[in-house]
Amino acid sequence: MGTPCEGSSLDNHGVFHPCAEEIQKWMQKAFEMAKDALDNSEVPVGCLMVYNNKVLGRGRNEVNETKNATRHAEMVAIDQVLDWCHCNDKDPGDVFERTVLYVTVEPCIMCAGALRLLRIPLVVYGCKNDRFGGCGSVLDIPADNLPQTGAPFKCISGYRAEEAVEMLKMFYKQENPNAPKSKARKKD
């Protein structure tokens, strides 16, 4: 997918730290995934998992489509990275420790917990998730002292946050075809 831009760097642990141009490129693709989710009546969250400047996993919410509450964008992408590791005879632990997640909305508590267990070093996200956010809005999974639960990770937040919020508003204004039908109450 090209070479990293000037200003990108690897730290002492081999973790890639993107420059502004890299963030812009990968977040654009994450927003495309979020738009696809919205077009398919899903909460508009999209993400990419980038390893060595290559997308190994891409995900969008698939909760309504699969009727499985765990099929968040991050979980879909994690599964793809695991498949890539299996097919390419790579150790998933080594790969995840050098993978950056780009996601349009702050990961929820479940996803942040999974990211920590997998030792993802960096998460770049758009808007905060005030109801379920696991990266500081509700809980601070990346930084809290949580023994034996993986490694703390860094977050870069607020990238195109207003755009991410607008996509969420568009979703919640439309009717969810998978929502249960409201039941009329009988008068006594």
Q: Which of 170, 156, 41 is nearest to 103 (CA)?
A: 156
Distance separating alpha carbons of residues 71 and 94, to the nearest angstrom: 24
Distance separating alpha carbons of residues 101 and 141, to the nearest angstrom: 15
Q: Considering all CA atoms of the chain, what is the largest pairwise distance in Å, rounded to the nearest integer? A: 72
**Residues taking part in catalysis:** 74
Q: Alpha helix locations (H) across the chain? A: 20-39, 63-66, 73-87, 92-96, 109-117, 161-173
111 touches 72 (CB < 8 A): yes
